[in-house]
Amino acid sequence: MIREISLILLAFLIFSCKENKKQIHGQSEKKEFQKPNIILILADDMGWSDLGCYGSEINTPVLDSLAYNGLRFTQFYNTSKCFPSRAALLTGLYAQQVGAGRTWQNTWRNSTTIAASLKEAGYMTWMSGKHHGVDVPTDKGFDKYYGLLSGAANQFNPGERRPGEPKPAQKRIRPFYVDGKRYEPYTPDSTYYSTDAFTTAALDWIETSEKETKPFFLYLSYTAPHDPLMAWPEDIAKYRGKYKVGYETIRMQRFAKQKELGLIPQDFKLSEPIYVPWESLSEKEKDKEDLKMAIYAAMIDRMDYNIGRVLNTLRSQEKLQNTIVLFLSDNGSSAEVVEIPGNGNIGTVGQWTSLGSDWANVSNTPFRMYKNNSYEGGINTPAILSWPEMNSKGMINDTFYGHFIDVFPTLLKAAGHSYPKNDTIFPLEGLSFARNTYPPHMKMSEKDRLMIDRPLFFEWADGAAVRKGNWKIVREKTEQWELYDLSRDAGETYNLAAVMPDKVLEMNAAFEAWQERVNKDNQ
């Protein structure tokens, strides 16, 4: 396996918009730069270890293939919560700057979106799936939108009860968009399953635009494997019984595989488990826990299959060679448990079931905690970058630490387009990890060099964190910072705050300055 050792090396390997020349009858002919198609795929509440290429036993051959033929990051950050992650992803700004730091019910301020900029660059722009905001995506630069506007919804029926079926388990009625029309509620037919439906909408756009010469940007935003845990029976059957070995066994199997894959060092110190001892459960409880995890796995399995549908279509159209695929998850696996009365049949339309903290701890192997926390288990999730033009087969980048705010500038760079100069929007906060190396020997600017070690800031609910270089301060439900050296202790097992108080003070000062700046931005 090829090991990524520096960001500079990465710069010379990916997204190089260099001159391509070929010899024809002894003369050089310049090949015109062709804008790549771009597919941005987002999973929902999926942990760091939930893909085969990140250590899992779940069958994910499509994403594994993208990873083994592309690039995996081991340190790619989100905000630890759904809607601020999505705001940061699309705007290239911290969620606090656009008004999404605490609620999804604000119109995004002071910003534009990836879609709007790529549309200016000549792209067709499509979004299918979950948005989790109040702004309709077609008002934010997308030509077409199909999907769920706000938060979690029933995977089989986000609307009203259908004849012959149980009442769909719901938190509340969510707005849904189909062909530009708003439905509230949206009651599809019985063939509907969210992951399948979101993919089918995307495929319709790809197929109807096959003859188009313009490139496309597709944002495919799944709700899998977010609760409610629901999946097709045939997918659940693939995993039923696999998890009766218990939390500890699955976690240690994943941990061992991560070392084998080269994702973590052999001496990685695993954080203390949070789950209860498997032996303390009754046989009935074990069976229920096995079923929950089997459904969770089935949801990821089905998502992988649907991503394959998209890639196969592009392959048949001979467009895959010039298509960038970036796969992310919006936060770590979730310990939240939603209690909604239902028909009791876990995995079906009539029962809302959550994964719970025990399996979430396993899903986030080898990291500490889960969604809603600023420890690594909440904010560090899989990131796979694939583009056949890249020449990065099987690479693992374990030095660069990226963030959702970096995606906007990266995709702009890949498209050969510039961020708009506009006094009404903030400058991008992110760093392009897709350096334009034209000409190939171009050296990094001093600004770029400084940005490699740039600080990243996190603040959600009762938690906060700062990452700068290998150092990280983090706190949860307290004013006291913990300090970790992530180069030696990414499992966050040994708190250095007491022995390095000056480092804590330095990073706290940076956090307070950032807080003041982004809060001022929102006034």
CA distance 88 to 407: 9
HSE-CB of 156 using CA atoms within 13 angstroms: 22
Residue type, 290: D
Tell me the backbone φ, ψ of residue 420, rounded to 5 degrees. Answer: -65, 145
Closest CA to 106 of 116, 94, 96, 92: 96
Cα 6 to Cα 315, 395, 456: the distances in Å are 32, 12, 19
Catalytic residues: 82, 132
Q: C-alpha angle 379/235/225, rounded to 5°?
A: 20
CA distance 395 to 387: 12
Residues composing the chain: 523
Closest CA to 488 of 267, 291, 317: 267
From the centroid of its chain, how far is CA 50?
A: 12
Q: C-alpha angle 213/214/215, rounded to 5°?
A: 115
Q: Tell whether omega for the bond before 185 is within 30 degrees of 0, i.e. cis.
A: yes
From the centroid of its chain, how far is CA 219?
A: 12
From the centroid of its chain, how far is CA 63?
A: 13
Query: Would you say 128 and 147 are in contact if contact means Cβ atoms under 8 Å apart?
Result: yes
CA distance 489 to 484: 7
What is the bridge-based pairing of β-strands 181-183 and 176-178?
antiparallel
From the centroid of its chain, how far is CA 92?
A: 14
Torsion of CA 150, 204, 212, 390, to 10 degrees: 70
HSE-CB of 338 using CA atoms within 13 angstroms: 18
Query: Would you say 331 and 78 are in contact if contact means Cβ atoms under 8 Å apart?
Result: yes
The residue behind tokens 């008002």 is: 139
What is the bridge-based pairing of β-strands 37-43 and 216-221?
parallel
